[in-house]
Amino acid sequence: MMPSFYYETHTIFGTHKSKILQWIFSIDHKRIAILYIGVLFALFFCAVGAALTMRAELFFPGQQLIQAQTYNQLFTFHGVTMIFLFIVPGIAAGLGNFILPLMLGARDLSFPRLNLLSWWLYILGVVVALSSLVTGAGFADTGWTFYAPYSIRTDSHVLSTLIAAFILGLSSILTGLNFVVTIHRLRAPGMDFFKMPLFVWGLYATAWIQVLATPVIGITLILVILERTLGIGVFDPSKGGDPILFEHLFWIYSHPAVYLMILPGFGIISEVLPVFTRRTIFGYRSIAISSASIAGIGYLVWGHHMFTSGISDIARLIFSFLTFLVAIPTGVKIFDWLATLYKGSIVLATPMLWILGSIVNFTVGGLTGLTLGALGPDIHLHDTYFVVAHFHYTILGGVVFMFIGGMHYWYPKITGKMYDEVKGRVAFGLMFVGFNMLWFPMFIAGFLGNPRRYFDYLPTFTIYHQLSGIGALLVALGLLLVLYTFYKGLKEGKEAGPNPWRGTTLEWHIPSPPPLENFSKIPYVDFDPYEYEDGEPLVQLDENFRRIR
Amino acid sequence: MEQEMAYDRQGKSYPVADFKDDYSGDKLGFWVFLLTEGMMFGVLFLLYGIYFYRHTAMFAFSSADLNIWLGGTNTVLLLISTYTMGVATLMMRQGKLKLSAMLVGLTIFIAIVFLGIKASEWGVDISHGIYPGSKLLDAKDTGEILFFGLYFVMTGLHGLHVIIGIALMSWVLLLMRSGGIHPEHTIVMKNVTLYWDFVHLIWIVLFPLLYMIGV
């Protein structure tokens, strides 16, 4: 048997003796993916720490722990880290990097060295972003949206955060480019687009958003940088510039970026569901096409972030209408998943629990999204905790749950070990209860008029913030337990074998962990990705990857 | 290297595409990259369009300040350079390595002249006190501030692309010497030519937008 990729690798300089250099210069997509996942979750926990600090401050009305300005910087740090450093690269660069070539029957991404460059750019972005914590006049206090003209005028260190976001954008573009070319060029013979696993479809739609939307934010951030350093006037109202244009340009990236976070997560759901219901996914084609249409329509709805900014009524109506349209392909997906569950022999393993939890949370987040997409309610709810609750339901309760579910699902493939089921389920329980306790009260607080981003609130809102605070603690405990479960599994988990979940896609046909270059022989794919017969995978391949059944 | 095959159940064979030396993949990748460049410049064109719509008279007035002859010369220079670069690729494919290298060298030379002219234009503007954030400019009409703001950003970004182009073409020359590019392996050469075409196309749009609306 071939040794796994943990034992041999190739680096950008050929081979290397030093173990550390073998990791940080490796051009193997699997090693790069693990590097990403490590850094991603380290940053995730930093941002969770910032959030917990804010929650602690908000436990009682009035000021206790931190200054107002510190609070402004904390929520900016939380937002920038979570959005630009964690969830945007998140699933695609982490799990996607690892799984995509395995699912396609490819030996690596199309441009392995570019992949390494993306990782290094990402690290550079992280360093530049975090450097402003210790240099200049403190971390940015603009919120992660950098709205002009405040971002032009504030004394805090916005410059390095802007530069970091630009570098991270570049890294994201290169990853997307790599994925697009890989999916077009390196599918195993016989695998046409409608034989690709649905996770690949999610990544494909994501990659196009990365390629087409990220340059827009890139140049916009550069313009803000030039505005701060040279004063070109484009977004500066005192020089005739238009700050609303900044909002337009910002959201024409940042709204599609929401789907850039979500679509790979949807892909994970579509992988996990058929495996743990032991049946073919319902409506394969409609799920695949809905990913593409969400990506497409997602481009046209940015104006719904600007209903209260003073854009014309016609524009607001159109954006409101288009926003509602996104619900259609998303609804198609959700109903396909429900139909897959119907009469399936459901196995409530940990990945499945996370996925089911994410569907519940995401549905709440999606439906409140419609509330916000409607013009009238949005005027009332704009910039209240309702909005905060809505996007945490979609991104944290939805995407992060999907991410963690995916981490459990592919854990045996990545490590070759199994984790402890009981711990896994308890962690999910803590997290699910904690999450809903954390965010549901915020819908009410927001509806009653509690504005967001303030470090203080009226005493009438105390109860909601205290419930949230307790929920936040449960979430933190749940996350720590997830981490501990993974660590324990690595130390003393039993061998997983190539296919512990009885999955059907190509990655389950190779050893866990996979060898360097994944496949000794590339298979011919004349089967659909999810074919089950009496609850067992239908397709079997022999050791030369020739189909025998 | 032998072409790897995958076999279906009937034993029929199908060629497998590998990530190494994947000509079509390299080409596709570069086109996708150019798409991102297009999106980036597209934003600037959009901004230009919006502010032109709001300040049409002042944009035309400011545009008349620019030296159309220098800009025009630069346009012609870039047209010639894209031709020399194209012919260089053609010669490469025909196996005429030396001629091809000479043409790439010529393209680099023209690109440097372009930058020189551009620098002297900027120099004149700056010596007259017209640059983003200058007291003189900030005292003027907002239309003028915006025009010159965009002028410096757009030509600056384009100039940066010219510099990158020069670096890439010099790299091509080095690769030609070391044998990294030869008539059977021209993908780098083609992509750099494509890049240079893109840089010249951007200028073809920039020139009328910035220089000619004041005529």
Tell me which DSSP letter residue A493 carries: P
Element spanning B34, H or E: helix B23-54
pLDDT tens readout for residues B44-70: 999 999 999 999 999 999 999 899 999
State the distance between the two ends of chain A, measured CA to CA, in whole angstroms: 23
* Interacting residues of A370 by C-beta distance below 8 A, sequence separation 6+: A323, A324, A327
C-alpha A188/C-alpha A527 separation (Å) is 12
Q: Which residues of A touch B16 (CB under 8 A)?
A: 188-189, 522
B15: which DSSP letter? E
Q: What are the φ/ψ torsions at residue B13 (nearest 5 degrees)?
A: -105, 145
Q: How far apart are CA B78 and CA B205, in angstroms?
A: 12
B15 touches chain A (CB under 8 A): yes
How far apart are the C-alpha atoms of B111 and B113, rounded to whole Å? 5
Contacts of B37 in chain A (CB under 8 A): 215
CB contact under 8 A, A212 and B35: yes
pLDDT (tens digit, 9 = 90+) per residue, B128-181? 999 998 999 999 999 999 999 999 999 999 999 999 999 999 999 999 999 888
pLDDT band at residue B1 using 50, 70 and 90 as cut-offs: low
* DSSP states along B63-102: HTTS-HHHHHHHHHHHHHHHHHHHHHHHHHHTT-HHHHHH
- Global confidence as pTM: 0.95
B146 in reach of chain A (CB within 8 A): yes
Residues of B within 8 A of A546 (CB-CB) are: 7, 9
Structure confidence at residue B11 (pLDDT)? 86
- Looking at residue A136, its pLDDT comes to 75
Q: A542 or B90: which carries more pLDDT confidence?
A: B90
Whether the ω angle into residue A149 lies within 30 degrees of 0, i.e. cis, is yes
Q: How far is Cα B69 from Cα B75, in angstroms, rounded to an integer?
A: 10
Contact criterion met (CB < 8 Å) for B149 and A522: no
Assembly ipTM = 0.94
A157 phi and psi, to 5 degrees? -80, 70
CA distance A401 to A410: 14
Contact indicator for B111, B192 with CB cutoff of 8 Å: no
For residue A14, with 0-12 CB atoms within 10 Å meaning exposed, 13-18 middle and 19 or more buried, which class applies? exposed
Q: How far apart (Å, rounded) are the C-alpha atoms in residues A360 and A354? A: 10
Q: Residue A185: its chain B contacts at CB < 8 A?
A: 17, 19, 22, 24-25, 28
CB < 8 Å & 24+ apart, contacts of B64-70: B64/B214, B64/B215, B65/B130, B65/B214, B66/B121, B66/B151, B66/B210, B66/B211, B66/B214, B67/B121, B67/B124, B68/B211, B68/B212, B68/B215, B70/B117, B70/B120, B70/B121
CA distances B18 to A114, A141, A505, B86, B89, Å, are 16, 48, 20, 29, 26
Angstrom distance (rounded) from CA A44 to CA A92: 15
| Side chain identity, residue A110 | S
Whether B9 and chain A come into contact, CB under 8 Å, resolves to: yes
Determine whether the interchain pair A211/B32 forms a contact, defined as Cβ–Cβ distance below 8 Å: yes
Residues of chain A with confidence (pLDDT) below 70: 1
Question: What is the dihedral sign for C-alpha A515, A516, A518, A519?
Answer: negative
Measure the CA angle with vertex A125, ends A33 and B31; round to 5°.
70
Q: Which of B2, B13, B14, B16 to mutate to test the interface with A (most CBs of A within 10 A)?
A: B16
Report the C-alpha gap between A422 and B93 in whole angstroms: 64
Chain B residues touching residue A522 (CB < 8 angstroms): 4, 6, 16
**Residue entry with tokens 């590998």:** B18
Contacting residues for B46 by C-beta, under 8 A, at least 6 apart? none
B25 closest CB neighbour out of A185, A214, A216: A185
- Of the candidates A434, A391, A472, A480, the residue with the CA atom closest to the CA atom of residue A55: A472
Q: Report which of A371, A501, A375 is spatially closest to residue A446, judged by C-alpha positions.
A: A371
Q: What residues contact B37, with CB distance under 8 A and at least 6 apart?
A: A215, B161, B198
Q: At which residue do the structure tokens 């034989």 appear?
A: A195
For A539, the closest chain B residue by CA position comes to B9
| Phi–psi pair at B167, nearest 5 degrees | -60, -45
Looking at chain B, which residue has its C-alpha nearest residue A541? B9
Min Cα distance B108 → chain A (Å) is: 26
Contact B179/A at CB under 8 A: no
Cβ proximity of A262 and A399 under 8 Å:
yes
Name the residue of chain A whose CA is nearest to B9's CA.
Answer: A547
In chain A, % helix, strand, coil (3-state, to 5) comes to: 70, 5, 30
Nearest C-alpha of chain B: how many angstroms from A481? 40
Handedness of CA A325, A326, A329, A331 (dihedral sign): negative
Q: What angle do the packed helices B187-207 and B142-178 form, to 10 degrees?
A: 160
The residue of chain A with its CA nearest to that of B143 is A240
Give A189's contacts in chain B (Cβ within 8 Å). 6, 14-16
The DSSP string of B115-168 is HHHHHHHHHHHHHTT-STT-HHHHTS-HHHHHHHHHHHHHHHHHHHHHHHHHHH
Nearest-angstrom CA–CA distance, A378 and A298: 19
Check CB contact under 8 Å for A177 and B36: yes
Q: How far is CA B209 from the centre of its chain?
A: 17
Measured between CA atoms, the residue of chain A closest to residue B148 is A232
Q: Write the CB contacts of A351 (distance below 8 Å, at least 6 apart in sequence).
A: A272, A276, A405, A406, A408, A409, A501
CB contact under 8 A, A230 and B43: no
> Looking at the partner chain, which of A185, A241, A521 has a beta carbon nearest the beta carbon of B24?
A185
pLDDT averaged over chain B?
94
Residue A338: left if φ>0, alpha if ψ -120 to 50, beta else—which one? alpha
Q: How far apart are CA B180 and CA B170, in angstroms?
A: 13
Mutation for testing the A interface, residue in B1, B41, B43, B158 having most A CBs under 10 Å: B43
Interface test with B, best of A219, A228, A541 (most B CBs within 10 A): A219
Closest chain B residue by Cα to residue A242:
B51
Q: Which two tokens stand for residue B25?
A: 């993949």
3-state secondary structure string across A444-491? HHHHCCCECCCCCCCHHHHHHHHHHHHHHHHHHHHHHHHHHHHHHHHH
Best to test chain A binding among B28, B36, B45 (most A CBs inside 10 Å): B36
CA–CA gap between residue A359 and residue A365 (Å, rounded): 10
CA-based end-to-end distance of chain B? 60
pLDDT tens digits, residue range B14-53? 999 888 888 999 999 999 999 999 999 999 999 999 999 9
- Would you state the pLDDT for residue A19? 87
What is the CATH number assigned to the segment(s) B47-212?
A: 1.20.120.80
